[in-house]
Structure 1
Amino acid sequence: MDRRQWTGRRPKVAMAVIIATVLTFLTVPNAVAGATGTVPFSGNDAATGTRTVTIADITDFHGHIERGADNAAAFTLADSHNPGNMVPVSTGDLVGGSPYESAVAKDQPTLDMAKSWGLTISAVGNHEFDRSVADFNNRIASPANGIDWLCANTSARNKAAGGKLSRVKEYTIREVNGKRIGFVGALTDALGSVATPQITKDADLDERAVDAVNRVAHELKQSGKTDAVVALIHADATAAQGLGKDVDVVYTGHTHALKYGRTDGGAPIYEAGSFGRAMAVQDLIITGHGRRAKVTVENVDLGNGTEQASPRVPGVIRVEGLDAHTTQSAWMSAGSTGESMVNHSQQVFTAAQAHAAQVGDATVGTLAAGANFDKRIENGQEDSVGRLVADANRSMIQRAVYAGERLPVIGFSNDGSLRTAKLDMDGNGRVSVREVDSLMALQFKAAHETLTGEDVKRVLAEQFRFKDGQLKRRWIGISSNVSYRFVERNLAGTEDNAQLNTSFDGDDDTRAVDITDLMIDGRPVADDELVIIASNSYLLQGGDDYHAFRAGTNYGELNMSYSEPLKQYLATHPALAPAKVPQTGMKA
C-alpha cells in the first residue's frame, strides 16, 4: 500500500490541490493474496480494534457498458483484497450522454449492470438530469435500481417528501467490518453552465457544494453517527479543496480527468477519469469509534496486471481492458459459477447490443462517395458536421414553424451536443439511426426563438476569447446561409487589458472581436432586424455559456428530439457532401 498516508484527526493544514503532480517515489504496495511478490492483506487488529474498509470509486461512467466487465473485474479484485469489506461507489454521471447501446434503452442497461456490481451509492451528477429532474427522481432514482443518490446541496424542500428530488439524500451510512462509514454527496456549483435553466431551477442548489459537505460531515462526526466520512462530489477536484477535517477521503468527477490533491483539512482527493477506464481504490484504516476514531487512508494496488492510470496520480488504477488480461482471466475463471458480476455484466452488454442493432441499423440517409461530416477544423473552416446539423435545424424550423414567414432563418449547433467525432462512423456511405442517435445522444429538444441582428452578432462574437494574449476560438455550427467577418479587438493598454486572459466559461460579456458584414441568404442584416434562430433547447437557453441566446423572444420547442431534424434532412437530401463556407478575420 502507498504509505504516504493521512491521519484524519491531524491539525488543519492548508494545502493546494495538486493536479497531476509528479510524485517522486512510491513504496511497494500490498496486493491481492497470491499475486507474485506480494503478501496477504490483513486489515484487522484485534488488539487495537483497528478495522479496514475498502472504497472503490468510478466516476463519469456515462453508460459505457462496453467496459462493464472490466469494471466488474476491478470491483471483484477490490473485494478479494478485503473480502466482504469493500464498498463500490460512483461520483456521478453514471448515466446520460451514453453510447447507443445504453441510451436507446434510456440507460436501463447501465442501471442493471450497476446493480450486478453491488453499486448502491452514487453522487448525483448533472447528466442524471438529462431527461429532466422529474425523470431522474421517478425513474433513475427508483428504489428498484437499488442506489442511494446523494446531493447535500439541493434545497431541503426538494429533498423533503413530495419534493422534486424526494428520493435524494444528503448522506447514507454503511456499517462495514464493524465500522460505520458515512457517505456525503454534492453536485457542482456550476450546474447552470451545463444544464438548461429549467433543470437548474428544478434541482434548486441553494448551498455551495463544499459548504454542504462540510455541514453534513461535521454533523456526522460530532454526533458520533460515523467513524469515517467519505465525500462524493460531482465537481472538479479544486472544488473540494475547502473541505475541513471532518472529511477523511474525497472522490470528485465531472471533468473526466485523472487528478490527485489534498483538502484544506488534509484529506486526499481523487478523480478517476471517465467512461469506466479507471478506478480509485483506497483502504480506510479505522481505529476507534465516533468522534475519537482515527482514520488513515492508504492507496491499494489490486495486482493481477493492474497499474496506475497515470504515474502522476496515485491511488487511481487503469481498468480498461482488465477483464482481458491473461493473469486476470485465469484468476477469474477459477471456480467460476457463471453467475459472477463479470459474467452478468457481459450478459447485460450482449443483450443491450442486440437490441441496439435491431432498432438502430435502419438507414436514414446516404452520403456522396468518399464524403463524411466530422469535427475536424481545416483551413479555418467550421466543423462540417456542426454545420450540417445547423442546416438541418434551419430546414426543420423553416418548414414546421415559420412556413411562408418572410423573416430570415438561421441554424446553430453547439459542439458539446455532438457526441461522436463524425457522422458516418463505419464509413460505408450510409447513415443509420444508430449513427445519428450516437452523434446526438443527449436529451435536448428541437427549438427556436427570435433574435435581432445585433444579438446574432453577439452570439457569433462569443466564439472568441483571448488567452495568454492570443485569440482563441471555440467552434459553433452555423448554417451555410450565413457569412460574416470578425475583427480582432486591440485590448492591450486599455482598461479591458485584463480580458487578454479569459475563460470561455462564465458570464463575461467583454468582446474579443467585433462581428461585421453579417449576411444571411446573401443580403446584409441590420442590427435591429429580426432573425429566426433554429437549434436545440439547451443552446437556446444559454447552454455552453452562449449567453447571448438568452436575449431571444418567442422561444418554443418542438415535440421531437434534437436529432429528428437531422434524420429528416438526411432523408430528403441524398448523396450529401460537405461544402466549405469561408469566414475571414482581420485584426484591428
Structure 2
Amino acid sequence: MKTPLMLLTLALGLSSCSLFQSNKPLDVVVLGLNDFHGNLVPTGFSGIKVPAPTAANPAATANLTAGGAEIIGGYVASSRAANANTVLVGGGDLIGASPVISSLLRDEPSVIALSKMGMAVSSLGNHEFDQGLKELLRMQNGGCDSNDMTKACKFDPAYPGASFKWLGANVTDKTSGKPVFAPYQIVTTPGGARIAFVGAVTKTTPTIVSPSGVATLNFLDEADSVNKYIPEIKAQNPDAIIMLIHEGGAAKDTYNVAGCNSLMGNIIDIAKRVDPAVNAIISGHTHQGYNCVVPDPAGGSRVVIQGDFYGHLLQRLDLSVDTANHKLLSIKAANVVMDASAATTITRDATQTGIVAKARSLTDAVKNTVVGKISVPQILRANNDAGESALGDVIADSQLAATSGATTGNAVIALMNPGGIRADLPDSTNIKEGGSVNFGDAFTVQPFGNTLTTLTLTGAQLKAVLEQQFDNPAAGQNRILQPSAGLTYTWTASAATGSKVSDLKLGGVNIVPTTAYRVTANNFLADGGDGFTVFKDGTDRLVQPNLGDIDAFQAYLKANTVAPGPQNRITKK
C-alpha cells in the first residue's frame, strides 16, 4: 500500500526536526573549586570590602564573608536546577592545612561534603599528600586504617571515602613508572555531553611536603605528562577537554576582570606547552583570583582561571558543545563570589548544613578553648614591601621563646616560612570582644602540626639560607622567611642572585661568617622544605617531637598580651 503524500511529508519533517535537535548545541556548566583546605565554614574574603560600622568608626569596612560548604553547595544546587548539565570539579588542595572543624576529624567531613555536592573529579594538590600516600589513598577509597586513629572515623565510623576521583597524570610510582592515580576521566552529563578532565599537580610537591610521605613517587613535568594522554583522550571523542592543575600564578588584574593578560608565574610556561586540544585550564595552588587568557602552542589562546582560596570564589566555565561532532563551540569564563553574608542571594544547602553542624558538635569544645589575648582586634599576615608580616614576627618570636632555654635548644634566632601562616589572627569572621583568642584561631593560623627543630648554622650558612629566599620564587614572588626579634638585615632587589643580603646583624652586632648560631625552625623548614636546602647542612640538631609549632604559639599567647610585630626587621632597597 502506498504511503499518502501528506503522511510522507510529515514523516520527513519529523525526521528533519529530530536530526536538527540532535545537532543543537548543548550548554554545559563547569564549576571549579580550588584550595578549599577543609574550610567548611565561611571566612573573610579580602577581594570585597563591606560596611562594618562601629560606634568608634562609623565608616569602617571589613572583608566580605565568603565560602563555606552550605553556600558552595547551595550555588551548585541552583546551577544544576537551572542546567542539569552542571559538573563540579576541583583544582587540588581540597583537604590539608585545614581549620579545626575539619582537621580534627582527619578532613573526612570535607571529603564527605564535597562528595554530597556531587563533585566529579579533582586534580591532586600538594596538601593532599600532607599525611603521606597511604593516608591519601584511604581518603580516596575509605576505611579507618589511618596513621592517626585519634582522628580517623570519628565523624563517620564507616568512612566511605570520596565519591569523586583525584586525578594526577604526572604522579607515578618510582618502581613501576605507572600512574598512581587516574590521569584523566571523561564525565558524561545528563544531556549527553562528554567532557574530559585531565589532572596534574605541581612538580614541586616533594619540596613542599614531608619527603617521607612521597618517597615512592615521581612528580613529573606537568605539561609533558598531560600531553602524553591527549591522543588517548581524543580517540574517545570528548566534546571538550579541560585541564585541572594544582599550579598557578598571579595577575595584576583582579578576579573579576575577564580575559586578563597580566598573568605571570609557573602556570604560564605550562599553559603555553600544553596541547592545544585542551580548551581551558582550571588552576590553583597560588591562592589567587584571576580570569586570564594565555597563548597555546598552535597560535591560539585559551582561558586560564583560578578562584582565590577557601571557597571564596567558584570558577565558572559556560560551554557550548556540539555533541554530534564532538567539539567545543564557545566558552565563557567567570569567577563567582560565594557570598555568605546576611545579604546573600544564595540559598544554603540543607545537606551541607547538617554536615557542618555535626562537625561543629564534635570539634567546638576544643576550638573554643581560650588560649590568650592580643592587644588589637586582629594581627595580619599580609607582608610589607620587604616581605615581613606582623603575624610572621609574632610566630617567629613564639618559636624563639619556646627554644631559647638551655634544655630546649639554646636558640638565638628563629625563622618561620610564610607558607606556613594560613590566616590572620583571628580571621575577620571570628574577631572577639577584648582581643580574646581561642585554640581554633591559633590552629587556623598554623594547622600543619609541625614540630620544632633547633640546629647550628654558621654565619655564612645563615646568610646562604637568606639568599635562598630569592633563588626559589613562586608565582613571581620571593619567599621571605619571617625573623625573630634581634635578627635584622637588608636585601637589595637589583643585586645579583646570591648577593642580595647585606648588613646582617643579631642584636645590632654583625653576624660573623665563622661563628656558630643556634637557629630554630619547624621540622618542614629544617629538613629543607620550600627550597631552603641549606638548613639540611645544620649540625647538632635537637629535634623536639613533643614541642609543636602550635604549642609554642599557644604558650606565647598565654604568657603575653600579644601586640602586632613591628615589621622593622627586614629592610628592602
Q: TM-score, normalised by structure 2?
A: 0.72
Does structure 1 residue 346 correspond to structure 2 residue 361?
Answer: no
What residue number does 2:271 align with?
240
* SS of corresponding position for 2:219: coil
What residue number does 1:111 align with?
111
Does structure 1 residue 568 correspond to structure 2 residue 569?
Answer: no
Gaps of 5+ in 1: 1-42, 300-313, 330-340, 492-498, 500-508
Deviation at 1:269, TM superposition (A): 2.3
For residues 118 and 382 of structure 1, do their structure 2 counterparts lie closer, same or farther at Cα, with a shift above 3 Å needed?
Answer: closer
Q: Distance in 1 between matches of 2:538 and 2:71?
A: 46
* SS of corresponding position for 2:101: helix
* SS of corresponding position for 2:552: helix
The correspondence of residues 162-561 of structure 1 with structure 2, limited to 5 A, is: 166=180, 168-176=181-189, 177-192=191-206, 194-198=208-212, 201-206=215-220, 208-222=221-235, 224=236, 226-236=238-248, 237-238=267-268, 239-255=270-286, 256-262=288-294, 263-265=296-298, 266=300, 268-274=302-308, 275-276=310-311, 277-288=313-324, 293-299=326-332, 314-321=333-340, 325-326=344-345, 329=347, 342-367=349-374, 373-375=379-381, 383-399=389-405, 403=407, 409-422=412-425, 425-426=431-432, 428-462=434-468, 475-480=480-485, 482-486=486-490, 488=492, 491=495, 499=496, 509-516=497-504, 518-519=505-506, 526-555=512-541, 557-560=543-546, 561=548
* SS of corresponding position for 1:231: strand
For residues 187 and 488 of structure 1, do their structure 2 counterparts lie closer, same or farther at Cα, with a shift above 3 Å needed?
Answer: closer
What residue number does 2:161 align with?
144
What residue number does 1:93 align with?
93
Q: Which amino acid aligns with 2:83?
A: N
Deviations 1:378-419 (A, max 9, x none): 8989544323322332343445xx6287x6542122222122
* SS of corresponding position for 1:87: strand
Deviation at 1:241, TM superposition (A): 2.6
What residue number does 1:27 align with?
none
Deviation at 1:112, TM superposition (A): 1.8
* SS of corresponding position for 1:79: helix
Alpha-carbon RMSD: 3.8
Deviation at 1:443, TM superposition (A): 4.1
For residues 444 and 267 of structure 1, do their structure 2 counterparts lie closer, same or farther at Cα, with a shift above 3 Å needed?
Answer: farther
Give yes or no for contact 1:248–1:297 (8 Å, CA) kept in 2: no
Q: Distance in 1 between matches of 2:301 and 2:321?
A: 14
What residue number does 2:251 align with?
none
Deviations 1:13-39 (A, max 9, x none): xxxxxxxxxxxxxxxxxxxxxxxxxxx
Deviation at 1:57, TM superposition (A): 1.9
Deviation at 1:78, TM superposition (A): 2.4
Q: Which amino acid aligns with 2:132?
A: S
Deviation at 1:185, TM superposition (A): 0.5
Q: Distance in 1 between matches of 2:515 and 2:82?
A: 68
* SS of corresponding position for 2:434: coil
For residues 141 and 296 of structure 1, do their structure 2 counterparts lie closer, same or farther at Cα, with a shift above 3 Å needed?
Answer: farther
* SS of corresponding position for 1:144: coil
Deviations 1:279-332 (A, max 9, x none): 3132241333xxx63332333xxxxxxxxxxxxxx4333333499545x55xxx
* SS of corresponding position for 2:119: coil
For residues 515 and 221 of structure 1, do their structure 2 counterparts lie closer, same or farther at Cα, with a shift above 3 Å needed?
Answer: same
Give yes or no for contact 1:141–1:147 (8 Å, CA) kept in 2: no
Q: Which amino acid aligns with 1:55?
A: V
**Farther-moved stretch of structure 1 (173-182 vs 106-115):** 173-182
Q: Distance in 2 between matches of 1:125 and 1:379?
A: 29
Q: Distance in 1 between matches of 2:113 and 2:499?
A: 47
Q: Which amino acid aligns with 1:565?
A: A
Q: Distance in 2 between matches of 1:533 and 1:127?
A: 26
Q: Distance in 1 between matches of 2:26 and 2:163?
A: 27
Give yes or no for contact 2:208–2:530 (8 Å, CA) kept in 1: yes
Deviation at 1:127, TM superposition (A): 1.8
Give yes or no for contact 1:158–1:204 (8 Å, CA) kept in 2: no
Q: Distance in 1 between matches of 2:517 and 2:289?
A: 40
Deviation at 1:114, TM superposition (A): 0.5
Give yes or no for contact 1:371–1:577 (8 Å, CA) kept in 2: no
Q: Which amino acid aligns with 2:528?
A: G
For residues 484 and 87 of structure 1, do their structure 2 counterparts lie closer, same or farther at Cα, with a shift above 3 Å needed?
Answer: closer
Deviation at 1:200, TM superposition (A): 5.9
Aligned length: 481
Q: Which amino acid aligns with 2:394?
A: L
Give yes or no for contact 1:65–1:102 (8 Å, CA) kept in 2: yes
Q: Distance in 1 between matches of 2:124 and 2:408?
A: 45
For residues 249 and 376 of structure 1, do their structure 2 counterparts lie closer, same or farther at Cα, with a shift above 3 Å needed?
Answer: closer
**Farther-moved stretch of structure 1 (315-324 vs 537-546):** 315-324
Gaps of 5+ in 2: 1-17, 42-67, 143-159, 249-266
Deviations 1:534-574 (A, max 9, x none): 11122223344444434323556432442122223444x24
What residue number does 1:57 align with?
32
Q: TM-score, normalised by structure 1?
A: 0.71
Q: Distance in 2 between matches of 1:50 and 1:372?
A: 51
* SS of corresponding position for 1:447: strand
For residues 47 and 394 of structure 1, do their structure 2 counterparts lie closer, same or farther at Cα, with a shift above 3 Å needed?
Answer: closer
Q: Distance in 2 between matches of 1:581 and 1:53?
A: 49
Deviations 1:213-232 (A, max 9, x none): 1111211213x364543221
Deviation at 1:583, TM superposition (A): 4.6
Give yes or no for contact 1:410–1:478 (8 Å, CA) kept in 2: yes
Q: Distance in 2 between matches of 1:63 and 1:159?
A: 32
Give yes or no for contact 1:397–1:448 (8 Å, CA) kept in 2: yes
Deviations 1:46-69 (A, max 9, x none): 343765543222222222222222
Deviation at 1:351, TM superposition (A): 2.9
Deviations 1:129-186 (A, max 9, x none): 22333322223553622121100001155788xx9x84x2111233333344332101
* SS of corresponding position for 1:54: strand
* SS of corresponding position for 1:155: strand
Q: Distance in 2 between matches of 1:586 and 1:186?
A: 36
Give yes or no for contact 2:402–2:408 (8 Å, CA) kept in 1: no
Deviation at 1:461, TM superposition (A): 4.5
* SS of corresponding position for 1:278: strand
